Amino acid sequence: MTRPAGLPGAQDIDTGRRAVTNLLKPAERREHILRAAVRQGLLDPEQAVLAGFVDLDGLAATARSLHRAFPDSLRVLHAFAAKANCLVPVLAELRSNGLGCEVATAGELTAALAAGFAPDRIVFDSPAKSRAELRWALGLGVAVNADNFQELSRIDEILAARPPRSRIGVRINSQVGGGAIAAMSTATETSKFGVPLADEGNRQRLLRAYRDHPWLTWVHTHVGSQGCPLDLIARGIGQAVQFAEEVNEALGRRQVVGIDIGGGLPVNFAGDEITPGFDTYVDRLREHAPALFTGRYEIVTEFGRSIMAKNGFTAAYVEYTKNAGGRPIAITHAGVQVATRTVFNPDAWPLRIEAHDPLGRAKRGRPVRQDIAGPACFAGDLLARDRPLPLLDPGDIVVLPDTGAYYFSTPFHYNSLPEPAVHGVHVSPCGQVAFELVRPAQAGVRPELRFAHR
């Protein structure tokens, strides 16, 4: 961990506390962290032109809000969706805040184990689990949600009539429809995920599967995430709960004991307000799935983006500026390698951009419409087009808020652009900023070595 940096010009603790009180607004907190990062050399125009930052205090507060949203009377495991940020120190921080972990690949399972999650607090979801992956997960006692009937048969063969160590369920597709972003909607009529519940014969086939496999004790569903309205998500979960009730009634026993309701709470990328909140989500669940709150079922959630997005930002230097066709363009070191979804699908994944001077201070000049471009060698590598911002100059810093999920943690290696360093951040009550390295920067090719072998 690097040496904490105090508030600039603070004369005593009281002064520091007053300054921090003024920095409670998210944008001011980002600026405070950014200025400390510049002072400590974590951002540097020569050696560290791009970096990610995870607000660990914010992460803990988000975890607390998630725990509070569900009644204490319920048995709930909040399993963080590792795909949203699979960096092991971040996963370990989430574990220390009482969360479990949902994984979708063997790589994510490896990361979850490395982060210290107990196998019984890990859930394995994937539409393409291999036999080796299933044997590994079932051998550890990791919870498994089967995606289809073929996978159920495979699990049956692996168990070979032995009682499982794992909680095992089936993912159903409630087919309630999609949201505004098709790629994020997983409960459409033809979704690749789960057993489509409304397709002819599937409901009866599922009931037979539960009857024939007493170890099948969970139901899982996930309607989608960004772009999906809460009522759509809650209606899909309501259908999963209804099916669980149907199974237990048809079998005349309480076989289904738990329901994995997935994640999917959308994130507000338009501003700093956290909306919708977990409490609003729970209100929708009470409306559409009241049986979920009777205490008859254990519950698993799988939130990812809604836990991480607001608790991270990316910062990059402006290397050059120019004008083309009368429009100013700022060439930065953040582009498709960290903001892949934004670059390739800007209408669905727009990002806010904040302008700062070389010391990290927010720029206050008159807004000028300009393009914010990345470093990759193709014309579409743009973070924003025609965006009104204080005019950027070489050496300035752009900040991309709301990038704690997916952005710097799942890089795209276009042009062999190196992965940036990621730093965890704590801010003390008196305003001191302490950083801890979450992921070191990937080594790039040093200019003096490029032609060494000619």
233 close to 284: Cβ distance less than 8 angstroms: yes
Q: What angle do CA 422, 427, 428 make, to 5 degrees?
A: 150
Residue with tokens 């237990």: 248
User: How far apart (Å, rounded) are the C-alpha atoms in residues 58 and 431?
Assistant: 15
Q: Is 255 a residue whose pLDDT tops 90?
A: yes
* Beta carbons within 8 Å of 51's beta carbon, 6+ residues apart: 37, 42, 43, 314, 315, 316, 420, 421, 422, 423, 441
**pLDDT tens string 26-52:** 999 999 999 999 999 999 999 999 999
CA distance 242 to 203: 12
| pLDDT tens-digit series, residues 197-250 | 999 999 999 999 999 999 999 999 998 888 888 999 999 999 999 999 999 999
Q: Which residues make beta-bridge pairs with 362?
A: 356
Contact 313, 404 (CB under 8 A): yes
Whole-number Å distance between alpha carbons of 405 and 225: 13
pLDDT of residue 175: 80
Q: Under 8 Å CB-to-CB from 129, ≥6 apart: which residues?
A: 137, 144, 147, 151
Task: Evaluate if residue 451 carries a pLDDT over 50.
Answer: no
- pLDDT on residue 447: 54
Of 152, 161, 423, 185, the closest CA to residue 311 belongs to 423
Tens of pLDDT, residue by residue over 330-369, are 999 999 999 999 999 999 999 999 999 999 999 999 999 9
Q: Is 196 helix (H, G, I), strand (E, B) or coil?
A: strand
Share of the chain above pLDDT 70, in %: 92
Query: Strand pairing partners for 313?
Result: 53
Query: What is the C-alpha separation between 352 and 322, in angstroms, rounded?
Result: 21
Rounded-to-5 percentages of helix, strand, coil across the chain: 35, 25, 45
132 Cβ contact list (under 8 Å, min separation 6): none
Tens digit of each residue's pLDDT (9 = 90 or more) over 286-307: 999 999 999 999 999 999 999 9
> Taking 50 as the threshold, does the pLDDT of residue 169 lie above it?
yes
Domains within the chain, CATH numbers bracketed: 13-56+309-440 (2.40.37.10), 71-303 (3.20.20.10)
Distances, alpha carbon 296 to alpha carbons 210, 218, 291, 299, 435, in Å? 18, 12, 8, 10, 44
Give the 3-state secondary structure of 87-103.
CHHHHHHHHHCCCEEEE
The token pair at 127 is 């539409």
CA atoms within a 13 Å half-sphere pointing along the CA-CB vector of 135 = 6
pTM score, two decimals?
Answer: 0.91
DSSP state of 213: -
Q: Are 169 and 219 within 8 A, CB to CB?
A: yes
Query: Tokens for 73?
Result: 């009377």
Closest CA to 316 of 12, 105, 34, 114: 34
